[in-house]
Amino acid sequence: MRNNWTIEEIKDIYNKPLLELVYEAATVHRNNQQTAEVQVCTLLSIKTGGCSEDCAYCPQAARYHTDVTVQPLMQKDTVLEYAKKAKEAGSTRFCMGAAWREVRDNRDFDRVLDMVKGVNELGMEVCCTLGMLTESQAQKLADAGLYAYNHNLDTSNEYYGEIITTRTYDDRLKTLDNVRKAGVSVCCGGIIGLGETHEDRIKMLHTLATLPEHPESVPVNALVPVDGTPLANNQRVDVWDMVRMIATARILMPKAMVRLSAGRTAMNLAEQALCFMAGANSIFAGEKLLTTPNPSFEEDQAMFQLLGLTPREAFKSEKEMASLVS
């Protein structure tokens, strides 16, 4: 595993002729992952809308007028019902998202800790995405059984200020560091289609691939333009750009799960197949991401069957580590 990649090296990879790049990424994928296996994750928005941040892509920011209805933090039992359904439908990871700038040490956080305990007891990998965290909050989540924490860098350090002004890139990096220190698995990636340049994408991949440890999961999102947000009229991301991002991420971070995240409803089966070929091995399943649509359970089942993909079992990395040690 390398975490000393240079910008020049990454640029050379990213700019390879497309099929050459896909071939190389597929080779790295084959040498480091079970290529027929795809991790199936389910997202649930446990607290929706009304967020104080100004992320230009986000339908949940209070300052933009979108169709999202604000909903307070769900009850634990309701969340556990959703988690059970997700498990029955074949998901092994359950990710709870809250439209918060940061976690506060209050009763809502205590309730989230209870949710984490409950989902963990179902035998699923529990993930949360709750905004910024302190070291002690990360530790409390870990103690409750949190498996992974999602916190995206979204774009390059240089372009970040064009998209979000209410926090800094360093704030993001600090939270990621706190998550690591607590021994929680890191899920960190970004979005393309924000108006960034290829250079910005390369710089973001550079930051991810030169962290002291690579994130265990790297979500690659295509912007879902939402009416009422400043990016509502952005052009849809070219699928070839998604393939290029996924392939480059796969080559740079061979052991990470690379997730084909937001934007799948705009992609046909052949386009998604190319993303799996290029090294994607994780998806979000279920009708909804947090607030925007996602392919249906039936569509994804048909896709898995057609492409010969199988869902990855839960906690597989730990089981593999354990078998290496024994």
Give residue for tokens 């975490």.
3
How far apart are alpha carbons 208 and 203 in whole angstroms? Answer: 9
Residue 129: CB minimum distance to ligand SF4, A: 8
Determine if 51 is a binding residue for ligand SF4 (CB under 6 A): yes
Is 95 one of the annotated active-site residues of the chain? yes
Write the burial class of residue 316 (CB in 10 Å: 0-12 exposed, 13-18 middle, 19+ buried): middle
Give residue for tokens 């009229």.
233
Pairing state between β 190-192 and 93-98? unpaired
Show contacts with ligand DTB in window 146-175 (CB under 6 A): 150, 152
Determine if 286 is a binding residue for ligand DTB (CB under 6 A): no
Q: Among 293, 311, 274, which Cα is nearest to 29's?
A: 274
Determine if 131 is a binding residue for ligand SF4 (CB under 6 A): yes
Amino acid at 19: L
Show contacts with ligand SAM in window 120-149 (CB under 6 A): 129, 131
How far apart are alpha carbons 117 and 113 in whole angstroms? Answer: 6
Residue 41: CB minimum distance to ligand SAM, A: 13
Tokens representing residue 308 in the block: 């010969």
Out of 41, 55, 188, 275, which one is annotated catalytic? Answer: 55
Helix, strand or coil, per DSSP, at residue 218: strand
Choose the stretch contacting ligand SF4; rule: CB under 6 A; options: 54-62, 87-95, 108-116, 216-224: 54-62
How far apart are alpha carbons 116 and 113 in whole angstroms? Answer: 5
Amino acid at 76: K
Task: At 65, give phi and psi (nearest 5°).
Answer: -100, 95
Nearer to ligand SF4, 239 or 290 (CB): 290
**25 alpha-carbon distance from chain centroid:** 19
Is 55 one of the annotated active-site residues of the chain? yes
Determine if 152 is a binding residue for ligand SAM (CB under 6 A): yes
Show contacts with ligand DTB in window 55-94 (CB under 6 A): 59
Out of 172, 180, 201, 259, which one is annotated catalytic? Answer: 259
Determine if 99 is a binding residue for ligand SAM (CB under 6 A): yes
Residues with catalytic annotation?
Answer: 51, 55, 58, 95, 127, 187, 259
Residue ranges that bind ligand DTB, judged by CB under 6 A:
43, 59, 97, 129, 150, 152, 189, 219, 221, 224, 261-262, 289-292
Residues contributing to the site for ligand SAM (CB under 6 A): 57-58, 97, 99-100, 129, 131, 151-152, 154, 191, 221, 223-224, 226, 262, 290
